Structure 1
Amino acid sequence: MSRTTTMTVRLKGPLSDFVASNVGEYGAYDNVSEYVRDLIRRDKERTEAEAFERLKAELAQAFNAPESSYQPLTAEDVIARNKG
């Protein structure tokens, strides 16, 4: 189910000028809403990319660990560890 959120944001001074320069006839966006949606999408993509990079680093570390550091675990061991 999709949800719509309405926001009111007040900007003044340099921030307002910056937004105005990016919206309208000479800007990259037709309106402020389009600009804000794009900023949010980019921030979401950045956050997801950072999380993916952290996961890749953790997996690389695990795969590069020496075989002697591994411990045999049963499914029950894993379940118990994750409940704790």
Structure 2
Amino acid sequence: MATMTISLPDPMKEWIETQIGKGEYASASDYLRDLVRRDRSRRDQEMTMDELRQLVAESRASGTGKQSLYTIFENAERLARARGVVRE
């Protein structure tokens, strides 16, 4: 395993130490590994701007839709929940 040295402002260092003190994490390294895992997971779920542009272009090219605005929002909300973006 590689070693990395980082500098943090005192309030951040104290925050991490508090989390360790609560038993949330075994060490500062454990805390930072969890942060990196969560960040990677979040970023994996996000659409890139290119993907979003492609989606908009495909939508425009498909013409006028037949679904009601209510149905479109229901489907969007269901998709967001499935991706973990919106919680019930």
The alignment's TM-score, normalised by the length of structure 2, stands at 0.54
Residue correspondence of structure 1 range 4-83 to structure 2 within 5 A: 4-24=1-21, 26-50=22-46, 52=47, 54=49, 55=51, 57-66=52-61
Between structure 1 and structure 2, the one with the greater Rg is 1
Taking only the aligned residue pairs, the percentage that are identical comes to: 31
Aligned residues: CA RMSD: 2.4
CA–CA distance in 2 between the matches of 1:63 and 1:11? 45
> CA, structure 1 residues 18+65, in 2 after alignment: closer, same or farther (shift >3 Å)?
same
Identify the structure with bigger relative contact order (alpha carbons < 8 Å, sequence gap 6+). 2
Which 5+ residue runs of structure 2 have no aligned equivalent? 64-88
Structure 1 segments of 4+ aligned residues over 6 angstroms from their partners? none
